[in-house]
Structure 1
Amino acid sequence: MFRSLWQYRHFIMSSIRGDLKGRFVRSRLGGLWFILHPLAQAVIFSIVLSEVLKARLPDTDSPAAYPIYLLSGMAAWTLFSEILMRSMTVFIEQAPVMKKIAFPRLCLPVIVGGTALINHLLLLIALFIIFIFLGHIPGRALVLLPIGIILIAAIGFGLGVILGVMNVFIRDVAQIMMIVLQLWYWLTPIVYPANVLPEEYSFILRLNPITPIVALYQDALLFNKWPSPEGLIMPAVLGFVSMAFAMIFFRRASPELVDVL
């Protein structure tokens, strides 16, 4: 499978370019919408929570701390949710192409992941510009962001491929996951600090594999702190296991995908 992906690398790259261009055909702002959508959501949260509800981060008096904290967590979550949701529906969306053109079917989630990574890099550039206007410049811990990006991409891609194949056979999977993702979002310390949860519910955050990755983003972009290596073990193991299982599961199910579609 990996050999075939390499042989079709030019197809993957051209498809990523076509996906980026095609999503906003005849749009005046074009690719800026990739950045504006998550930024608008984060800004709304920042205004409502920090200004209206007077939400503040503990142990800091900076008025810009909470918006930066929120934007950092939103950036990590946006990458994860985009890879997962689009990988989960890509086989159904591209069913006409799969029936007419012969190519490795695994190219489709790879194209989705490549598009999501480019969107994420553009979003990070926009965030850095916003941070500068807020008077905040990230420190040396910024170099750890690629680790978070790799872990998010591995977990999102692995789970996305598994659920994407299941969604071809059972269309309820995508609908259920939309609800699960909403719950998952609020069980991840993005809008609120992790230490505000009561002690009896703190185990939820410890079981959530996205929590340490979101914390990595927040520590790197806001607090300039290096994460604990022990905290990244669970996301790394989940990313590796989900990727491996996704490859096995996809290989066994791929001969039947086109027939079912």
Structure 2
Amino acid sequence: MNSWAIALYRYRHFVTSSIVNDIKSRFARSRLGALWVILQPLAQVAIFAIVLSEVLMARLPGIESKFGFAIYLTAGLMAWSLFSEIVLRSSTVFIDNANLLKKISFPRICLPVVVAGTALVNNAMLFLAILVVFALLGHWAGVAIAYLPLLVLVTTLFAVGLGLFLGVLNVFVRDVGQVTGVVIQLWFWLTPIVYPANIIPEQFRAIVALNPMTHVVAGYQNVLLRNEAPDLQSLLVPLGLSFVLMFVAFLLFRRASAEMVDVL
């Protein structure tokens, strides 16, 4: 672990430039360029607010604001977009960069870090867009927003651990990448994002509670919608699982690292 930390520090400029280039490549030949980083999530959040609140008239129990459900959904999507982007991109990061790995000598651990860094920048832009739309709706962020960095950290650790584990496996068993996309879609619907947790039948609530992302998403929703602190005790579940996944993923990565380039 220490050797990887030292290697990342030595190649910090490579990691930073890769993140910048990754973001720039999304908007190559675009006249508005990096403005799309703000405009895309801003449009997405605005559409949710208009369609759910004004057209479908969706209401959230216990929340007086007519935009309550739109805010609830947007908060959950902010958590899920960070998690899913890191997991999905990490699961194919070594295969996608096979040519780079064969031509240039650099610590392979840099690639998952670049993926996580890019996802964090994208998520930060989404967060800024969310704050703008929430303000336009008359919903202002409160002091509970101070807990958001903790939630982002837990989400990132969990996603990186899972994504790195799947990424290494995918090099040797290519079916893993295909299955991951399907599982992430199913996982999304098993997490209370587009529906309130209290509508889940009583007999299934214990199963939903085993879902680590249930607690993470609930934390985002409490902070951004209710201006309440997240349930820190419930976050111990995804946090503990994150450390287990990180340990297993790094152990697997260390053992398979020497063979990965030959397989690719």
Q: Does 1:192 align with 2:195?
A: yes
Q: Secondary structure at the match of 2:106?
A: coil
Deviation at 1:190, TM superposition (A): 0.8
Q: Does 1:169 align with 2:168?
A: no
Query: Counterparts in 2 of 1:160-239, with a 5 A limit?
Result: 160-239=163-242
Q: Conserved in 1, the CA contact under 8 Å of 2:41 and 2:129?
A: no
Query: Counterparts in 2 of 1:29-48, with a 5 A limit?
Result: 29-38=32-41, 40-48=43-51
Mapped partners of 1:77, 1:168: distance in 2: 25
Query: Counterparts in 2 of 1:120-159, with a 5 A limit?
Result: 120-159=123-162
The TM-score with structure 1 as length reference comes to 0.95
Residue number in structure 1 paired with 2:70: 67
Aligned AA (1:2): A
Tell me whether 31-40 or 190-199 shows the greater mean CA deviation.
31-40
Q: Conserved in 1, the CA contact under 8 Å of 2:59 and 2:67?
A: no
Classify 1:41/1:198 alpha carbon distance in 2 versus 1 (closer, same or farther; 3 Å): farther
1:154-200, Cα deviation, whole Å (9 max, x unpaired):
01101101100111111111111111111100111111110011111
Q: Does 1:27 align with 2:30?
A: yes
| Unpaired segments ≥5 residues, structure 2 | none
Identity of aligned residues (%): 54
Q: State which of 81, 94, 97 in structure 2 corresponds to 1:94.
A: 97
Q: Secondary structure at the match of 1:63?
A: coil
Q: Secondary structure at the match of 2:167?
A: helix
Deviation at 1:218, TM superposition (A): 0.8
Mapped partners of 1:47, 1:195: distance in 2: 24
| Unpaired segments ≥5 residues, structure 1 | none
1:14-71, Cα deviation, whole Å (9 max, x unpaired):
1111111122211123234444555555555555544444321111221111111111
Q: State which of 241, 259, 263 in structure 2 corresponds to 1:260.
A: 263
Q: State which of 57, 62, 67 in structure 2 corresponds to 1:54.
A: 57
Q: Conserved in 2, the CA contact under 8 Å of 1:155 and 1:242?
A: yes
Q: Secondary structure at the match of 1:229?
A: coil
Mapped partners of 2:117, 2:241: distance in 1: 20
Mapped partners of 1:15, 1:242: distance in 2: 25
Q: Conserved in 1, the CA contact under 8 Å of 2:19 and 2:118?
A: yes
Q: Secondary structure at the match of 2:65?
A: coil
Mapped partners of 1:175, 1:40: distance in 2: 30
Mapped partners of 1:6, 1:80: distance in 2: 24
Classify 1:163/1:34 alpha carbon distance in 2 versus 1 (closer, same or farther; 3 Å): farther
Aligned AA (1:94): N
Classify 1:36/1:78 alpha carbon distance in 2 versus 1 (closer, same or farther; 3 Å): farther
Mapped partners of 2:46, 2:108: distance in 1: 38
Mapped partners of 1:35, 1:193: distance in 2: 28
Q: How many pairs does the alignment contain?
A: 261
RMSD: 1.6
